[in-house]
Amino acid sequence: MNFKVLYSTLCFLLIAVTLAFSQPTRIKFGKVTPLTSITSGASQEEVPLWIDVNTGPDTWKVKGEELICTGNPIGVMRSEKQYENFILHVEWKHMEAGGNSGMFVWSAARPDEKSRLPDGVEVQMLELDWVNLNKRNGETPPIAYVHGELFGVGGVQTAPDNPRGSRSKSVENRCKGKGEWNTYDVVCVDGVIKLSVNGKFVNGISSSSQKKGYLCLESEGAEIHFRNLRIIELPAGATPADQIAPEIK
């Protein structure tokens, strides 16, 4: 093999390796079912694809039926496609006291330069000890703060059902502590979100300024496990273009 051929071959291999390692982590996890397939009895269940946005190859892994997030670095993994009206079922448990995480609904899935987190409506998942480990001026924040708060971020505006400033807090604490599974059922329709925690609806927002976008799973400094994630897609709404997150090409 002459020098030119050897050089070209090495360049090709270098480019191939670089592209392979530069591809974001992609994980299949959960289930997506159109409402029409449930009502008709047809089987159209799919496994959604999740794409790393700004975390790392070691942040997320599937082990058995669970998706495990190390919590580091801070960032998100997004759904491959956008969702508008849907019901989301997900079970989660923190593995550390005061662990922080959550999901973003109707997100553009583009991280903010300052926080590394995107826009959308956040569905908070904080471990119960967070309030004890994050006292403010010597005062312990209310337990409702950790228990499924809903709030717009990154410029997305919402109207809280149970206001705590611009955020909406749960009216009853039903959350379990580290090492225990919690169940969230999140109903998202035409800019309205209702959140059920462990079998009871306790929080909601309305009038979201963004009503269609990506779902994001959050990595925020603590190990968290997810399982039994299921999305039931509902009929689309009459959502104007300025209330839809830009698609990622």
pLDDT in tens, the chain (249 residues): 565 545 445 444 443 333 344 567 999 999 999 998 888 877 788 999 999 999 999 999 999 999 999 999 999 999 999 999 999 999 999 999 999 999 999 999 999 778 899 999 999 999 999 999 989 888 998 877 778 999 999 999 999 999 999 999 999 999 999 999 999 999 999 999 999 999 999 999 999 999 999 999 999 999 999 999 999 999 999 999 999 999 998
**What domain range includes position 167?**
25-237
Q: To which residue do tokens 């700004």 refer?
A: 54
End-to-end CA distance of the chain: 41
For residue 41, the model assigns a pLDDT of 77
In a domain, 13, yes or no: no
CATH of the domain at 31: 2.60.120.560
- Structure pTM? 0.88
In a domain, 242, yes or no: no
Sign of CA dihedral 53, 24, 183, 230: positive
* Interatomic CA distance for residues 92 and 66, integer angstroms: 9
In a domain, 146, yes or no: yes
- Residue 16, judged by CB atoms within 10 A of its CB (0-12, 13-18, 19+), counts as exposed
For residue 145, the model assigns a pLDDT of 74
In a domain, 17, yes or no: no
In a domain, 103, yes or no: yes
Alpha helices by DSSP H, the chain: 3-22, 35-40, 130-133
For residue 73, the model assigns a pLDDT of 96
In a domain, 164, yes or no: yes
For residue 13, the model assigns a pLDDT of 46
In a domain, 7, yes or no: no
In a domain, 243, yes or no: no
| Number of domains, the chain | 1
